[in-house]
Amino acid sequence: MTKIRTVERTLQSLTDENHYLFSTADLRALLPGVSDPAFKSLIHRLCRNGCLSRLVKDLFLFPQAPFDNGLVLFHAAAKLRDAHFNYLSLETVLSREGLISQIPLQWISLMSSGRSYRMVCREFGTIEFVHTRRKPSAVLQHLTYDPAFRLWVADKELALQDMKNTRRPMELVKDDESI
């Protein structure tokens, strides 16, 4: 059996609605004895034949797995920045709370202890990480964990404060006593 078939079958046995995103390191673990150039070539061939879809650099989606398109950006954000403190905030939270009249489609914004960066995840949309120096202990009372998103989510008070601290435009925010 070829290495491509081996990887395909292994991925099929590992994937489900909760496990469909794989980092380069995850895929590398499937082929420990393969040289780096051969591994890169194999990943390229897996993407070309449709077995994998490159979401962003170092993150791949297994399209044959059952997954919810609406959760891909959230799951990708959690996987991409798992070594940093991150939480959903800004327009994403305010939209969910009904405080922004225009809903940002295919765009999520997170506060992150990592650097600020925007990642375009193909047809799924954009993930925006906005750097914060806040410590988890300073905002923990304003966060709840959402297992569906696999991320911490700010309450509206923290999201509004983040909007002000990052100097985001506030004209889309509906009137609220806390502004």
Q: Give start and end residues of each alpha helix (H) in 49-155.
A: 72-80, 90-96, 136-139
Residue with tokens 């700010």: 154
- Tens of pLDDT, residue by residue over 7-62, are 899 999 999 989 999 999 999 998 888 899 999 999 999 999 999 999 999 999 99
- Structural domains of the chain, with CATH: 3-67 (1.10.10.10), 70-165 (no CATH)
Place 178 in a pLDDT band, splitting at 50, 70 and 90: very low
Q: Which residues pair with 120 in a beta bridge?
A: 126
* Assigned token pair, 42: 């194999």
Q: Is the pLDDT of residue 155 over 80?
A: yes
- Tens of pLDDT, residue by residue over 127-152, are 999 999 999 999 999 999 999 999 99
Cα 47 → chain centroid: 20
Q: Is the pLDDT of residue 177 over 70?
A: no
Mean pLDDT of the chain: 91
CB 108 within 8 A of CB 123: no
CB 79 within 8 A of CB 62: no
Rounded Cα distance between 97 and 156, Å, is 7
CB 126 within 8 A of CB 120: yes
Position 170 scores a pLDDT of 85
Q: HSE-up of 72 (CA within 13 Å, CB side)?
A: 28
pTM for the complete prediction? 0.90
**Segment holding 152, helix H or strand E:** strand 151-154
Rounded Cα distance between 56 and 26, Å, is 15
